[in-house]
Structures are given as structure tokens and as C-alpha cells.
Amino acid sequence: MPTSSGRSRGARSGRRSRRRGRRVAAVDETSAGGVVLDAQKANVALIGRLDRRGRLLWSLPKGHIEEGETPEQTAVREVAEETGISSEVLRPLGTIDYWFVADNRRIHKTVHHFLMQATAGELSDADIEVTEVAWVALDELDGRLAYADERRLVRKARELLAVEATGPKDHEDTA
């Protein structure tokens, strides 16, 4: 007897029966990248990639940690590969993790992000994985970045930069 959804009571949802029919391998991947500031600490280097629908999505540069690399070394290497900018790590910003499916695998990705300073180079989209690169003003990043987790990291970077610019708050001597 069909239910209001049109399925008979004994039928399983398509999703559940697909899961039982084949298992999708789950793998862990770890990457590193960062919020790369220009010399004036006013702009951040972003990369743009086309999604499956052909939309340009802007994100922070990042990539896979190679064997023997630290997350900091990976961040510096990936920024150079994806943007053409040489940089140095100033401090850790935080870690993002998320799940996605690709090539019949469920991937749990962990990305270590750093606050970084550009030291040399010019923006280049020579990396085949990157469609465009751009320097974007810090105050325009919320409207440009495609991913909420990255927008949160950028807000944290702005807060750190504001504290750095104003210095620690003065505390009155109460003795």
C-alpha cells in the first residue's frame, strides 16, 4: 500500500539501498594554506576555481601536505604554486575540517591555515588548478570568499591585525 510519498511501505529509500549495495571508501586528507597579506597588510591573495557548474569560486590558497613537510612549509609552497607569491608564516590562524565526495570516495579534509606575509613575487594564475588570482581588500573578503569557514578565518585575521596595529590595551595601575 503506497504512503503519501508514493512509495510502498516496504520500500527502502533509494539512498539507504544504495549505501547497502556498495561501500564508499572514506579517506583522510590534510592540507595547509593561508591568509596571505600584501606588504601594506591591506589586501589578501585569493585564488578562483571553476566549480562543476562553471561558477568562479574564490578561496584561500591551500594544498596537500607532502611527505616530510610541516604544515607551515606546505602553506608557503602551496601559496607560491597557486599564486606566484613568496611568503612567510607569521602565526597559525586555525584549522578547518569538512567532508566531501570525489572519485567514489568520502574524503575528510583537514586544512591548517596560517596568517602569512608576502615577501616577493607577482600574482600569477599559471597553476593549472587555478582559474584566476587576485589581491582583494581585507574589508571585501566577506563578499568574495565562497566558504563560510574561510570567512571566519579572515575575520580572525582582521582582529589579530587590529590588535597588532593598536597595540595591547593599556591597563591602569591599581596598586
Contacts of 5 (CB under 8 A, 6+ apart): none
* SS3 at position 124: coil
Mean pLDDT to the nearest integer, 15-27: 65
Mean pLDDT to the nearest integer, 149-155: 96
Q: What is the pTM of this model?
A: 0.80
Q: What whole-number distance in Å separates Cα of residue 33 and Cα of residue 75? A: 4
Phi, psi of 147 (to 5 degrees): -115, 130
∠ CA 72-142-95, rounded to 5° = 30
Q: Is the pLDDT of residue 139 over 80?
A: yes
Domains belonging to the chain, first-starting first, are: 24-166 (3.90.79.10)
Of residues 120, 156, 95, the one with CA closest to residue 38: 120
Half-sphere exposure of 111 (CA within 13 A, CB side): 21
| pLDDT tens track for 70-118 | 999 999 999 999 999 999 999 999 999 999 888 889 999 999 999 999 9
